[in-house]
């Protein structure tokens, strides 16, 4: 089964985004939490990507209606909100992402024709997604309440921080143990709630296995910095023998 793949962009480079998309990624995650992006660089990058509404997500540094509204006005197709641990935080995310009556997003038609059709606000609410990132023991404990939030489009699993919160090493691509059990719990909960679930991975094989098992609806697959670092290391090692 093929699911959309997104490369996390830590740098401000449009070239990185262009090469990622040309190389086969379905989209990019503009990372304002763990990347070098500020609001200006994020919105400029979003506007520079053709078809940004279907090809860009933004991980914001926090649930802030001003930041979220600005990147959505620029044409982002969805928001990943980090460290969501309560239903109230999930509701605040929905309020920032959706136009009334589903939410409280302020109307700012920055780009012409971004949302097509006779009812552009309804089209926007259908097109733009809000994902609550589950990456802590507290988020796991409140999972049922978070998943029940009206208007929430999905959840995004952050395995490294989740592992640390559960007293485990900060790594990704867990195949077994308590962290994998927690990942499976989030996936099962999202399936029961009827909302989407995504996960950040490093290994294409690991992500592919999740996709093949129909466990996830989309994956964040590595970072631009990570790809460059890995390719640099492999190239130098091959040169030095």
Q: Judge whether residue 110 has pLDDT over 90.
A: no
Q: What is the SS3 assignment for 193? A: helix
Using pLDDT thresholds of 50, 70 and 90, give the confidence band for residue 1: low
Q: Average pLDDT, stretch 213-226?
A: 94
The two counts, helices (H) then strands (E), for the chain are 12, 8
Contact between 57 and 80 (Cβ < 8 Å): yes
For the question of residue 34 being annotated catalytic, the response is yes
Closest C-alpha to 168, from 180, 151, 185, 184: 180
Q: What value does the CA radius of gyration of the chain take, rounded to a whole number of Å?
A: 18
Write the pLDDT tens digit of every residue in 169-213: 988 888 889 999 999 999 999 999 999 999 999 999 999 998 888
pLDDT, mean over the chain = 95
Give the CATH number for residue 105.
3.20.20.60
What pLDDT, on a 0 to 100 scale, did the predictor assign at position 212?
Answer: 85
Strands 5-9 and 27-31: parallel
Alpha helices in 49-119 (DSSP H): 52-55, 65-73, 87-97
Domain limits at 107?
5-240
pLDDT tens digit sequence for 118-158: 899 999 999 999 999 999 999 999 999 999 999 999 999 99
Identified catalytic residue from 8, 19, 34, 37 = 34
6 pLDDT above the threshold of 70: yes
The number of distinct structural domains making up the chain is: 1
């Amino acid at each position: 089964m093929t699911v959309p793949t997104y490369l996390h962009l830590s740098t401000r480079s449009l070239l990185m985004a262009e090469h990622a998309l040309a190389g086969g990624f379905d989209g990019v995650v503009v990372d304002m939490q763990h990347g070098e992006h500020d609001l200006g660089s994020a919105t400029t990058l979003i506007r520079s990507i053709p078809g940004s509404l279907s090809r860009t997500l933004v991980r914001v540094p926090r649930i802030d209606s001003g930041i979220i509204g600005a990147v959505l006005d620029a044409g982002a197709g969805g928001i990943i909100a980090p460290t969501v641990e309560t239903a109230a935080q999930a509701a605040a995310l929905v309020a920032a992402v959706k136009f009334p009556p589903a939410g409280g997003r302020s109307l700012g038609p920055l780009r012409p024709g971004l949302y097509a059709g006779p009812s552009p606000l309804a089209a926007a609410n259908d097109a733009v997604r809000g994902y609550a990132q589950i990456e802590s023991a507290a988020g796991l404990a409140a999972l049922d309440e978070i998943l029940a939030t009206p208007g929430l489009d999905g959840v995004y699993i952050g395995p490294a921080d989740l592992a640390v919160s559960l007293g485990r090493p900060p790594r990704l691509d867990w195949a077994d143990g308590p962290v994998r059990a927690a990942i499976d719990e989030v996936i099962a909960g999202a399936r029961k709630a009827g909302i989407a679930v995504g996960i950040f991975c490093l290994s294409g094989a690991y992500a592919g296995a999740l996709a093949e098992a129909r466990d996830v609806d989309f994956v964040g697959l590595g970072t631009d910095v990570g790809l460059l670092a890995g390719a640099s290391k492999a190239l130098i090692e091959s040169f030095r023998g």
